[in-house]
């Protein structure tokens, strides 16, 4: 097993056992939000409409004391169904990793038992800062590393590495036992002949998102540009065709749709979320399990 600090893990190790509980709590929070917000709106409207004067409070008590009617049950059921359908629609555009029809795919199902990680445990919640999900075309896709430009074919020809690592979001959810495949960033930098620099900036294909790593962070043994997840090509909503994976840091450092890596002298460069208050030091701090060696 690989942890940022073994002593820290021993001290706080009990926390990682509750990742499933944290994921369930996050899901429960989502659904309670969808139920609570309409209830608060209706409750507020009802109060404003019914209880304008103290003498009208008796009317409220009388109304609450009435037995449920068939019409009331029907309307309540329709309201619950409406909230559920709205939640499903919201999840369909923001949270469910749909396959990218333009992504390369061998079309063969993958048996989780054949994966080094045994198949990921959990579900990605997908966040986007704008409405742009880059379309992937292997004929035109390019990755620029310093002055070196890689085509998709050239990137695929680079030595690939497989590792089992977990993904932790700073908002509280995790996906465990992911089998990542891709090019180690240290190997890529060496192949591109990029001289050592204080830091590197990673540019997303969405045209807006950026983040940075120091040279030491970028060349850690398990930092990679991944193009496959659990034996399949990385779906576009999850950052495909290529995304940065930094297992020892929270997910906002793992830039999606990486298309450019540029050296910089700014060791204090602030990425998209750091400019909005996120910690510049994105290292896991609660003892979360990072992953396992193959």
For the stretch 222-255, pLDDT in tens is 999 999 999 999 999 999 999 999 999 999 999 9
Q: So where are the chain's domains? A: 6-16+113-292, 20-94
Using N-to-C axis directions, what is the helix angle for 19-50 and 57-65, rounded to 10°? 120
290, 19 Cβ separation under 8 angstroms: no
Integer Cα distance of 46 and 244 in angstroms: 50
> According to the CATH classification, is domain 6-16+113-292 in 3.90.420.10?
yes
Q: What is the pLDDT of residues 33-88, one digit of tens each?
A: 667 677 666 666 565 555 555 555 555 556 555 666 667 667 777 777 776 666 65
pLDDT at 101: 38
Supply the mean pLDDT for the chain. 80
pTM over cut 0.75: no
pLDDT at 57: 52
Structure tokens at 39: 């209830």
Integer Cα distance of 24 and 29 in angstroms: 8
User: DSSP class of residue 2?
Assistant: B
Integer Cα distance of 94 and 83 in angstroms: 16
């Amino acid at each position: 097993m690989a942890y940022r600090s073994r002593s820290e893990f021993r001290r706080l190790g009990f926390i990682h056992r509750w990742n499933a509980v944290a994921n369930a709590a996050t899901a429960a929070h989502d659904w309670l939000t969808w139920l609570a917000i309409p209830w608060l709106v209706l409750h507020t409207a009802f109060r404003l409409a019914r209880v304008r004067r103290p003498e009208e409070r008796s009317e409220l008590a009388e109304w609450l004391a009435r037995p449920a009617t068939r019409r009331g049950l029907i309307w309540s059921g329709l309201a619950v169904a409406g909230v559920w359908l709205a939640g499903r629609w919201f999840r369909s555009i923001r949270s469910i990793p749909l396959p990218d029809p333009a992504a390369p795919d061998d079309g063969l199902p993958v048996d989780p038992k054949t994966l080094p990680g045994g198949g990921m445990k959990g579900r990605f919640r997908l966040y986007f800062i704008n409405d742009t999900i880059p379309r992937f075309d292997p004929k035109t896709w390019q990755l620029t590393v310093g002055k070196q430009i890689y085509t998709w074919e050239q990137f695929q020809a680079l030595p690939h590495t497989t590792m089992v690592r977990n993904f932790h979001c700073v908002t509280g959810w995790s996906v465990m036992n992911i089998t990542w495949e891709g090019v180690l960033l240290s190997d890529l930098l060496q192949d591109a002949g990029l001289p050592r620099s204080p830091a590197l900036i990673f540019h997303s294909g969405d045209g807006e998102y950026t983040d940075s790593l120091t040279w030491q962070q970028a060349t850690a043994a398990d930092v990679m540009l991944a193009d496959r997840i659990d034996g399949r090509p990385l779906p576009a909503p999850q950052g495909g065709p290529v995304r940065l994976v930094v297992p020892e840091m929270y997910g906002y450092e793992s830039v999606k749709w990486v298309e450019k890596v540029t050296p910089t002298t700014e060791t204090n460069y602030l990425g998209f979320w750091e400019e909005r208050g996120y910690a510049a030091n994105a290292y896991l701090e609660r003892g979360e399990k990072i992953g396992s060696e193959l």
